[in-house]
A = this chain, B = another copy of it.
Amino acid sequence: MFSAESISRDLKEIRTKAPLIHNITNYVVMNLTANALLALGASPVMAHAAEEVEDMTQLASALVINIGTLSQAWVEAMFKAGQAAGKRGLPVVLDPVGAGATPFRTSTARNLLESFPVAVIRGNGSEIKALVDSSTRTKGVDSLEGAESAIQAARELVEKYNCVVSISGEKDFIIGKDMVIVVENGHPLMPRVTGLGCTASALTGAFAAVNPNYVEAAAAAMAVMGICGELAAARAEGPASFELHFLDWLYRLNEEEIKAQLKFEIRS
C-alpha cells in the first residue's frame, strides 16, 4: 500500500543496494540527474554508444530513456537499449521530452513505445497528450496543459502499452490500470530549474529498480521530488539555491520528513 512507510522502505532499499541506473538522456540534464541519483543513493551511468548500450543494460537494474536532445544516432541506441532491457525484463522509464513540439520528437517517442515494453512514461501534460493526440502542442519542453487535462490520454496509454503513466504538474497524477495516485507535494520554483522533470524520470527509474509495483514506484519518486522541493524552498532565495538545497535534501531525506510532508490521494 502506498504510504510514507512504503516510500521510506523503497528509499532505504535504494540506499542499501545502490542499484545501477542506465540513463540515455539529454545533454542539458546529465550532470543534474547523475547527481540526483547519487544523492538519492543509486549508482548512475550515462552511456549512449550503439557499441555498448546493450552491454551496459546487462549490468543495470533500470533503464531511463529521455529524448530531450535527441538525434538519429542516439535514437538508434535507445531502441537497442530498450530492446535489450525488454529481453531481461528490466524496468524502462521513458521521458518523451518535447513530444508535441516537433514531429521528430512526437514520432520518436511513439516509435520507442511500439518497440519494447515500458514500465513508466513520465512527462508533463502536453507531452503525455501529444503521445495520443497529434493536435496537441508543446512549447519547446514546457507544458501548455495542466496535468489533469492529460488524464484521459494517460488512460489510453496505460491500456495500450500496459504501463504506468506519471504526469507531472502542480499536482502529479500517477495512473495505473486499477489505481490513480495523486501526489500533491511540490513547489512553484521547481519548473524554474531546468531538468527537474528529467530528474523525476531518473528517480522513477531508481524506485522501479527496487519496487516492481510501478504505480507505487512512480508515485514514490514524485513524492520524494515534491517533498524535497518543499524542504528546499524553505531556504531558497531563487532557483539556484533551490536546486542546491533540493539535492542536499535528496541525500538527507528520512522517514520523519516524509511522514510530516507527504500529501496524496488515491483514486480509482
Q: Identify the A interface with B (CB < 8 A).
A: 18, 20, 22, 26-32, 34-35, 38-39, 43-52, 55-56, 59-60, 68-73, 98, 101-105, 139-142, 191-195, 236-241, 243-252
7 A-B pairs whose Cβ atoms sit less than 8 Å apart in the complex: A28-B46, A35-B240, A38-B239, A45-B140, A49-B72, A55-B103, A55-B104
Q: Is the CB of B59 within 8 A of A46?
A: no
Copies of this chain, tallied across the complex: 3
Q: Is the CB of A139 within 8 A of B73?
A: no
Asked whether A71 and B59 contact (CB < 8 A) given A28-B31, A28-B34, A38-B192, the answer is no
Asked whether A247 and B238 contact (CB < 8 A) given A35-B194, A59-B101, A72-B49, the answer is yes
Contacts of A46 in B (CB 8 A): 26-28, 68-69
| A248 to B, closest residue via Cβ | B238
Within the complex, what minimum Cβ distance (angstroms) separates A185 from chain B? 19
Q: Is the CB of B43 within 8 A of A69?
A: no
Contacts of A59 in B (CB 8 A): 101, 139-140
**C-alpha spacing A142/B61, complex, angstroms:** 14
Contacts of A246 in B (CB 8 A): 240
Q: Is the CB of A43 within 8 A of B142?
A: yes
Q: Is the CB of A194 within 8 A of B44?
A: yes
**C-alpha spacing A229/B45, complex, angstroms:** 23
Of A29, A105, A192, A194, most buried by chain B (CB within 10 Å of CB) is A194
Of A45, A98, A251, most buried by chain B (CB within 10 Å of CB) is A45
**C-alpha spacing A250/B194, complex, angstroms:** 14
**C-alpha spacing A246/B142, complex, angstroms:** 24
